[in-house]
Chain A
Amino acid sequence: GAVVSQHPSRVICKSGTSVKIECRSLDFQATTMFWYRQFPKKSLMLMATSNEGSKATYEQGVEKDKFLINHASLTLSTLTVTSAHPEDSSFYICSAGRLAGVFGHEQFFGPGTRLTVL
């Protein structure tokens, strides 16, 4: 159990267009979803935290008008990169949080989406 999917796995788009990435928890309801960005050979950088039905909380330095996050249900969160530019090219990873007994809450990661902006 605890499977998280992301769609698409890869996307190539032209500069100036918008791209939507979906993150779904397939077999559990996620209390919270997280969006990370990872540059090549670098660590994961948290972009934002979202809870179902409420506005996302963005990390310092992340443009909320650029990276729109919608968490419409307990199993689906979307990240939309608006007016994408080449510098937005990166690997985007989501994780979904679930209550996990003594650990309070555990995050399960999606397989990631590679975005390339031409």
Chain B
Amino acid sequence: AQTVTQSQPEMSVQEAETVTLSCTYDTSESDYYLFWYKQPPSRQMILVIRQEAYKQQNATENRFSVNFQKAAKSFSLKISDSQLGDAAMYFCAYRRGSNFGNEKLTFGTGTRLTIIP
């Protein structure tokens, strides 16, 4: 079974600074996708960034980027120029690749990010 591990229950960063959230996963699959989701106090899950396992290039979305190390099964999220609105729970998630569209997401335990003004 696939597992996703987030070893940092809580992190904090000064506003405008950079922070990196860690995630490791375990799988025997070769075709899969990795995601970072943000859950603010409203509890609405928001997709931050995603990565296809077959792509070597790290995904980037504005201030958010990932460091995908496939051999090490590591998928960290870097948030640059942290803003107060970035404060939230961040979940790393794994999904097996499929042509059938019904593959489930496996979530890590989450990292609570606090932004210090």
Contacts and interface: CB of A to CB of B under 8 A. Distances in A.
Contacts of A93: 43, 45
Most buried by A among B100, B102, B109: B102
Interface in B90-117: 91, 97-110, 112
A103 B52 contact: yes
A70 interface: no
Interface of A: 31-32, 34, 38, 41-44, 46, 49, 51, 91, 93, 95, 97, 99, 102-107, 109, 111-112
A106 B99 CA distance: 12
A118 to B, nearest CB: 21
A54 B43 CA distance: 29
Give the interface SS of chain A, mostly helix, strand, loop or mixed. Answer: strand
Contacts of B47: 106
A91 B50 CA distance: 25
A103 B50 contact: yes
A34 B104 contact: yes
A97 B107 contact: no
B102 A44 contact: no
B62 interface: no
B98 A43 contact: no
Given A43-B109, A43-B110, A109-B44, A97 B102 contact: yes
A104 B104 contact: no
Contacts of A104: 33, 97-99, 101, 103
A44 B91 contact: yes
Nearest to A48: B104
